[in-house]
């Protein structure tokens, strides 16, 4: 049994993946003109077709999480001008957040407390990433 991608040639997207005992016709059975069957043993439904071959999707690897010390993040926040805003936010936050801010030995870029603080201050993910990248250099 061979695996085939059913490709819509108007969009060059794989619309289905089917196993056939023998190679199908083009268009494959059950499909109208404008669809072709392209054999590939590992093709998946999220693949595309470039006109000559099937193309696997680009898999975005998870971002590397930056971990910094409280000193590093405070120096970075001072440099970008958000330290006073963050400290004011922490003062108003629940005690668990205040304890984390005061007593943590490291801060992780995707820590829910850090993300919540940045969101509350209207900062974007790009700004958070830039802050941690800067902090890692200090």
pLDDT tens-digit profile of 53-95?
Answer: 999 887 665 567 899 999 999 999 999 999 999 999 889 888 9
Tell me 60's DSSP state: P
pLDDT for 60: 63
**pLDDT at 135 exceeding the cut of 90:** yes
pLDDT for 93: 84
What pTM was computed for the model?
Answer: 0.55
Report residue 2 as tokens.
């061979």
**pLDDT at 15 exceeding the cut of 70:** yes
- The pairing of strands 67-68 and 107-108 is antiparallel
What SS3 string covers 73-91? HHHHHHHHCCHHHHHHHHH
């Amino acid at each position: 049994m061979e695996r085939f991608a059913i490709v819509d040639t108007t969009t060059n997207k794989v619309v289905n993946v089917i196993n056939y005992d023998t190679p199908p016709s083009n268009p494959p059975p059950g499909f109208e003109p404008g669809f072709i069957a392209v054999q590939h043993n590992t093709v998946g439904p999220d693949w595309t077709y470039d006109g000559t071959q099937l193309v696997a999707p680009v898999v975005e690897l998870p971002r590397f999480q930056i971990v910094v010390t409280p000193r590093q993040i405070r120096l970075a926040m001072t440099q970008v001008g958000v330290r006073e805003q963050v400290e004011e936010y922490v003062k108003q936050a629940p005690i668990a957040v205040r304890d984390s801010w005061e007593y943590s030995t490291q801060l992780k870029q995707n820590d829910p407390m850090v993300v919540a603080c940045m969101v509350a201050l209207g900062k974007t993910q790009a700004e958070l990433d830039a802050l941690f990248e800067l902090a890692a250099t200090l």
